[in-house]
Structure 1
Amino acid sequence: MGDSPNYGYNRNPQFSVNHVAEYLAASNAPQRTRIIGAAKFPKKVEVTSYTQVKKPLKDALSTPDFGAADLAFLEDRMDTKARREIGYQRDEALRCARAIRCFRETITPRKFGRYQISAAPKTIHHTVEGVRINVSLDALITAETDDVTNSGGILLLYAFSADRGDLRDRLAAISGLMLWSLEGGQMEPLPRLCMAIDLAEKNVTKASSAHQRFRERVTESCKEVAARWKEIRPPDDYDGPPLE
């Protein structure tokens, strides 16, 4: 979901959607400092789970029948790999197979067949109080009513081990930021078309139409981030280029 580049360090205030959602949920100053540091000094190399299935699942969103045959084959391949591997490789294959199963049970023609789903656009940049928020979608949704076409999007979350309480707020923040970032485009976005999908719980969270308080919180958070950005130092494990 809208992450910062995985090289260099960000000289200007820049957050991903995930950073904003985490910042809103942070309960103390050290947590907020850590989040700003992670955004300003992204790690060069990170071990990422679900790399074997993220692109196939993203592509399946805009494929007829949501790629049922291809995903069934990929799921079988992950199950086979899990039986043959040990350690991390086995665990990762099991995670990937589970993600595919949850996707297939959540994204069905019965639930999503009425939407027009297409490949995701390029990252959307939305600036709030000097902080550029990068919003990446897994797919774009359009829906037509009375000759008026509205827009929205889908973002998949692979949060199988996340705290459920925190995740509910995170999903709401992501869908809300999606709605905000799409405003001003060629098509008016609708809250019901902006969806953050938690695959683990097979739960779809749509943006709220009552968003004034949420946007005020984001605005205040971005003011704080912009004010503190220059003072944030790199973490001990920073592996980017020399700092100026």
Structure 2
Amino acid sequence: MTKKPILILVGTTEGRHLAYQASQRSDVQAIASLAGRTRRPDPPIANTRFGGFGGVSGLRDYLQDQGIEALIDATHPFAAQISIHALLAAREVGIPHLRLSRPPWVPQPGDCWRSVSSNAEAAECLPEVAQRVFLTIGRQELATFASLQQLWFLMRMIDPPQQTTAIPPGEILLARGPFSLEDERSLLRTYQIGAIVSKNSGGEATYAKLVAAREIGIPVVMVQRPTMPEMETVSDIQQVLTWLDGL
């Protein structure tokens, strides 16, 4: 059986697991593309490339040069640019395209969420929400909050920010999820956190902070996902594997 070359854009835990499972199949030759710095993905993926493509045209050229027959976008829910590039490139080449995107979180009884459309909007409203803030947006947009010198921030991220990045006053905490509910409760109380700022990324790895906020009774400023163009989308790995069966 001739294996069909497929490209999987990986930017989430689900994406890594999908790429691994796809690499075990006898009907496809899966290539996983990782834009980040992680050189040893877990689980390990046989065919892996690192780095970007150079926009829509670069991705289109790669798809054509490699003879890719299907493109799966399993990037982060907030990685709107690469998702749009993937959709456009797949259309230009004329190959099937599918997006894997885990469902967003939804507020539960007892939650006190303030929905905003961007980090800038979150920063604008924070002074009227709390004085001590747990900032869980990663390291890329810390500068958006740097002008809030009257507030104090606990900033959790996986990797430290670049030295040239402007950051708000407070403390940086380097940690990788998943995080337990007990640990999140303890963290909020130890640092006397009055509000959380979070992206609505979905998934289980960092959901415990929202449960802890609900139990303690503190508000969450929730940055909602960017608007995406209409495209075929599924929410779990099994749906992707079923889609592959139909190629």
Q: TM-score range by the shorter chain?
A: under 0.3
Greater RCO structure (CA 8 Å; 6+ sep): 1
**Larger helix percent:** 1
Q: TM-score, normalised by structure 1?
A: 0.26
Q: Whose radius of gyration is greater, 1 or 2?
A: 2
